[in-house]
Chains A and B, each alone.
Chain A
Amino acid sequence: MNTKSLYQEVVLDHNRNPRNYGSLDNANRTAEGDNPLCGDHLNIKINLSKGRINDISFQGESCAICKASASMMTTKVKGKTQEDAETLIQEFRDMTIGKLELDSNHHLGHLTVFSGVRELPTRVKCAVLPWHTLHAALNSVATVSTEADDDPMHVSIGNA
């Protein structure tokens, strides 16, 4: 059952004890990510030099899926090159909308724990927001959201 697999221990652990949570003194790139319809809000700070993410942090209020995704993302991309990080961002997005073959040659590793979110369209935005925000930070875009043109599924899911 997909919901159960989504809230498995690793996700709950990252929600309870988020890694790299807090501020970053030597940050040289930062971006805000906002999911206004459900209230997820994130700030991602990175120290990027010589094309490598030397350090990264995140802060903000969000649901468990978003927080765990952000936490696992920061541990995954820390130390990686910008190019490798962008590959991961694309692969993660593709996975959440069912466009990635899980047994293909991807680099997601443990992040496949979020594959269940593709069965829950209303939660895709929650999982994707940190990655969207990281992409913005890497490309010096100040704020992003997961609405309208930035909607990863390009379909607006109304919240009543």
Chain B
Amino acid sequence: MKLAESLLKSPGASILNIEQIRSDFPILKLKIDGKPLVYLDNAASSQMPQPVIDRMIRYQTTQHANINRAVHYLSETATEEYEKSRNKLKCFINASEDREVIFTSGTTDAINLVAHGYGRKFISSGDEIILTTLEHHSNIVPWQMLAEEKGARIRVVPINNAGELLIDEYEQLFNKHTKFVGITHVSNALGTINPIKQMIEFAHARNVPVLIDGAQAAPHMKIDVQDLDCDFYTFSGHKLCGPTGIGILYGKASLLEHMQPFKGGGDMIASVTFEKTTYNTIPHKFEAGTPPIAAAIGFGAAIDYLSEIDMSVIKAYEHDLIDYATEQISFIPGIRIIGNATNKVAVLSFAVDKIHPHDIGTLLNQEGIAVRTGHHCAQPVMQHFKVPATTRASFSFYNSMSEIDALISSIQKVQKIFS
């Protein structure tokens, strides 16, 4: 019986064996200046479990060579393992074909690929691109660069004070010039989960393609790109317990085939002469040069690890974490939670009266607690709430309730220091 089922079948029992999970992550044993590490910066990057570390070492010690290039055993093995990882990602997001999964160096790289491969080819002067106030800079800047180059215009969906998109306003932004939509699935600064399925439907009724930035969603819930019907979906390996330097762009085959290549070089060509070069088919058309092979294989191993636990178990456990954290922090006087959407992942951005986030973060670090302070690469969100920065605690399925208790008591300690 799968781990998930056995846990779900025992009523009242914790749905996830937190001690067992935590023992899989060697870094969680670290001490920061004598204090146990309490790692609450998962939205920035997640930690790697031993099985994924081991898989990457095994690749380097028994399987590594360059892919797609040779007929020898190691090259064939490396190629096979690399493509196996592609298939794992395809299944993870329920894409219809392997070739719709492009390996990139991360989410930012993937979005830039679309801005160049699709945007540069199909967006022209006077066209409009819809983005939202919740976007991470990586889903703003590439479009601004494109808009400036082409003479196109960016339109922005506003948010309410709970940090939720105003869907009526989104719909009203559409006109005959609207040619592209970019939406974050989950806000990295606030944790808001956006109703992207309905937003995609609305755009498609007007023949407008949609890119979804899934960097903050894929670690926390099951993604089904066919059900969402998104045209593009992007996310990064290091936020899902995989290595840094790898991510994927999912794109519908029909779109990817008509896009122009992003980077030029080896592997993305069919044939090269100085007179004319023809391009390879997808996905290789977008995978120029030697890819981060070990990282791709690590990403696949991370997907295996998460799938073994089951994304719905992870989602339910993290829901308990954010409920508990929100409840506990609301008992502390002088705390303002920033981002109170009805649907959120386990991200808690907050402000403490009269104490600057930088001071909070520095003093929490002294207690071994890692949170992030700053604008979180989401300056438009900060501007909406009229704060230069927030303190953000972001949880993963390997965080425990007692770590939340540690966070709460440390915040109270910080308040005491400043009182």
Which A positions have Cβ atoms within 8 angstroms of B? 1, 3-4, 6-7, 12, 15-16, 36-39, 61-65, 120, 122-123, 126, 159-160
Q: A123 touches which one: B33, B355, B358, B388 (CB < 8 A)?
A: B358
User: 1/0 per residue B379-415: CB within 8 Å of A?
Assistant: 0000000011100000000000000000000000000
* Bound form: Cα–Cα A56–B365 in Å: 35
Which A-chain residue is minimally distant from B378 (CB atoms)? A160
Q: B376 touches which one: A15, A39, A160 (CB < 8 A)?
A: A160
A160 touching B358, Cβ below 8 Å:
no
Q: B358 touches which one: A1, A16, A61, A65 (CB < 8 A)?
A: A65
Q: B366 touches which one: A4, A62, A64, A122 (CB < 8 A)?
A: A4
Task: Name the distance in Å between A38's Cβ and chain B's nearest Cβ.
Answer: 5
B374 touching A3, Cβ below 8 Å:
no
> Does B418 make an interface contact (CB < 8 A)?
yes
Task: Name the distance in Å between A21's Cβ and chain B's nearest Cβ.
Answer: 14
* Bound form: Cα–Cα A7–B33 in Å: 17
Residues of chain A with a CB closer than 8 A to B418's CB = 12, 15-16, 64
Residues of chain A with a CB closer than 8 A to B365's CB = 3
Task: Name the distance in Å between B218's Cβ and chain A's nearest Cβ.
Answer: 18
A159 touching B359, Cβ below 8 Å:
no
Q: List 17 A-B contacts (CB under 8 A).
A: A1-B33, A3-B366, A6-B362, A7-B359, A7-B363, A36-B388, A38-B357, A38-B358, A38-B388, A39-B387, A61-B388, A62-B356, A64-B356, A122-B358, A126-B358, A159-B375, A160-B374
A12 touching B417, Cβ below 8 Å:
yes
> Does B185 make an interface contact (CB < 8 A)?
no
Residues of chain B with a CB closer than 8 A to A122's CB = 358
Q: A159 touches which one: B355, B363, B374, B387 (CB < 8 A)?
A: B374
Q: B374 touches which one: A7, A37, A64, A120 (CB < 8 A)?
A: A37
Residues of chain A with a CB closer than 8 A to B389's CB = 38-39, 159
Task: Name the distance in Å between B233's Cβ and chain A's nearest Cβ.
Answer: 22
A3 touching B388, Cβ below 8 Å:
no
User: 1/0 per residue B115-155: CB within 8 Å of A?
Assistant: 00000000000000000000000000000000000000000
* Bound form: Cα–Cα A65–B358 in Å: 9
Known interface pairs A63-B359, A122-B358; 17 further A-B residue pairs with C-beta atoms within 8 A, sorted by A's residue number: A3-B363, A3-B366, A7-B359, A12-B417, A15-B418, A38-B358, A38-B373, A39-B356, A39-B387, A39-B389, A61-B388, A62-B356, A64-B356, A123-B362, A160-B44, A160-B374, A160-B376
A65 touching B44, Cβ below 8 Å:
no
Residues of chain B with a CB closer than 8 A to A62's CB = 356
Query: Which chain B residues numbered 343 to 374 have a C-beta less than 8 Å away from chain A?
Result: 355-359, 362-363, 365-366, 372-374
Residues of B in contact, count (CB < 8 Å): 22
A64 touching B387, Cβ below 8 Å:
no
* Bound form: Cα–Cα A64–B362 in Å: 11
B375 touching A37, Cβ below 8 Å:
yes
Task: Name the distance in Å between B62's Cβ and chain A's nearest Cβ.
Answer: 36
Which A-chain residue is minimally distant from B382 (CB atoms)? A39
* Bound form: Cα–Cα A61–B358 in Å: 13
* Bound form: Cα–Cα A15–B355 in Å: 10
Chain B interface mostly: mixed
> Does B173 make an interface contact (CB < 8 A)?
no
Residues of chain A with a CB closer than 8 A to B357's CB = 38, 63
* Bound form: Cα–Cα A62–B388 in Å: 10
Task: Name the distance in Å between B392's Cβ and chain A's nearest Cβ.
Answer: 10
Residues of chain A with a CB closer than 8 A to B362's CB = 3, 6-7, 120, 123
Given A4-B366, A15-B418, CB of A64 within 8 Å of CB of B376: no
* Bound form: Cα–Cα A159–B361 in Å: 13
Task: Name the distance in Å between B375's Cβ and chain A's nearest Cβ.
Answer: 6
* Bound form: Cα–Cα A3–B363 in Å: 7
* Bound form: Cα–Cα A61–B373 in Å: 16
* Bound form: Cα–Cα A119–B363 in Å: 14
Task: Name the distance in Å between B136's Cβ and chain A's nearest Cβ.
Answer: 10
Task: Name the distance in Å between A11's Cβ and chain B's nearest Cβ.
Answer: 10
Which A-chain residue is minimally distant from B34 (CB atoms)? A1
B358 touching A63, Cβ below 8 Å:
yes
Task: Name the distance in Å between B414's Cβ and chain A's nearest Cβ.
Answer: 9
Which A-chain residue is minimally distant from B414 (CB atoms)? A7
Residues of chain A with a CB closer than 8 A to B377's CB = 160
Residues of chain B with a CB closer than 8 A to A16's CB = 418
* Bound form: Cα–Cα A65–B359 in Å: 8
* Bound form: Cα–Cα A127–B388 in Å: 18
* Bound form: Cα–Cα A120–B363 in Å: 12
Task: Name the distance in Å between B387's Cβ and chain A's nearest Cβ.
Answer: 7
Task: Name the distance in Å between B134's Cβ and chain A's nearest Cβ.
Answer: 16
Task: Name the distance in Å between B127's Cβ and chain A's nearest Cβ.
Answer: 31
* Bound form: Cα–Cα A39–B382 in Å: 11
* Bound form: Cα–Cα A62–B355 in Å: 9
Please give me the 5 A-B residue pairs with the lowest Cβ-Cβ distance, nearest first: A39-B388, A63-B356, A159-B374, A63-B358, A3-B366
Residues of chain B with a CB closer than 8 A to A64's CB = 355-356, 359, 418
* Bound form: Cα–Cα A120–B417 in Å: 19
* Bound form: Cα–Cα A72–B138 in Å: 40
* Bound form: Cα–Cα A15–B418 in Å: 9
Task: Name the distance in Å between B114's Cβ and chain A's nearest Cβ.
Answer: 22
